Amino acid sequence: MLTFELMNIGSLSDFMKAHEYKISANEHVDFLIQIARGMGQLHALDPPIVHGDLAARNVLMCYHPTDNTR
């Protein structure tokens, strides 16, 4: 059995459709950075984990308040 954190927004694909694909370039870059960091964490494990099917429909999203201290 796998247990995951609640992803209350759904997939990145669903999010993009709900916003009619109208998100800013900064949001696109932020999504890409977060996905790359997540993949980096998986690949850094010993043994590494390879996702195998990275696609917007497989990227689950949840709301986290913005951390303004970065």
1 part of a folded domain: no
- The backbone region for 41, taken as left when phi is positive above 0, alpha when psi lies in -120 to 50, beta otherwise, is alpha
This prediction has a pTM of 0.73
Given a cut of 60, is residue 26 above it in pLDDT? yes
40 part of a folded domain: yes
- Name residue 10's beta-bridge partners: 61
53 part of a folded domain: yes
Given a cut of 90, is residue 62 above it in pLDDT? no
Residue 33 has a pLDDT of 94
5 part of a folded domain: no
- How many domains does the chain contain in total? 1
26 part of a folded domain: yes
2 part of a folded domain: no
Residue 57 has a pLDDT of 92
The mean pLDDT value for 20-45 works out to 91
Mapped onto helix, strand or coil, the DSSP state of residue 9 is coil
Kindly tell me the sign of the dihedral angle through the C-alpha atoms of 18, 28, 59, 69. Answer: negative
16 part of a folded domain: yes
The domain in which residue 50 lies consists of: 10-61
